[in-house]
Amino acid sequence: MKRLMFISILLSLVLSSCERINDDRIPPLAVNIEFSNVGMWNTYGVAATPDYRYFIKSELKPAGFPYTELSYTGFGGVLLVCDVMNFPRAYDMACPYEAKNNVRIYVDREKLQAVCPKCGSRFDIYDNPGYPLSGPAAEKKYGLQQYHVYGPNNFGGYVIRR
């Protein structure tokens, strides 16, 4: 009986000490970016840390990417990166503190972080996916909205979806 009580107390302490990051402040708009084969991935995807690329369909970014009627880039656009383990990760580019589709994060190549140009919040995009590091987003515990990266498929391509 004492052991069961000890385990339940320990479990409650562990669960209460965890920081909960709110990563769902961005409206749930559709995301669908398809890289049908390895050639398309090699041209428009990411290969290794610190590679990154911005996808904003309304602005036709990146230039030359073959968007279709079924292509969607979320609320503020999609930031595609290659994390420290060389796995592709995708985030909505809208700052979760500002929560506006035209206030977009950008990558600070020197510090290897995403930064909001308006509120100055910084986010970890390579080690601890979307975690707020500083600024008002960190104070409120607002993390970047993450999207799923599926692949590679039989042809070496990938798909980014909500």
Confidence band of 24 (pLDDT split at 50, 70, 90): confident
Pick the CATH number of 22-161 from 3.10.620.30, 2.102.10.10, 3.40.50.1220, 3.40.640.10: 2.102.10.10
Confidence band of 67 (pLDDT split at 50, 70, 90): very high
pTM of the entire structure? 0.87
Residue with tokens 């290659």: 82
List the domain boundaries for the chain: 22-161
DSSP 66-83: ---TT-EETTT-EEEEE-
Confidence band of 20 (pLDDT split at 50, 70, 90): confident
Separation CA 93–CA 99 (nearest Å): 10
Residue (of 135, 132, 130) closest to 145 by Cα position: 130
pLDDT for position 144? 98
Dihedral angle at the C-alpha atoms of 59, 96, 45, 63, nearest 10 degrees? 10
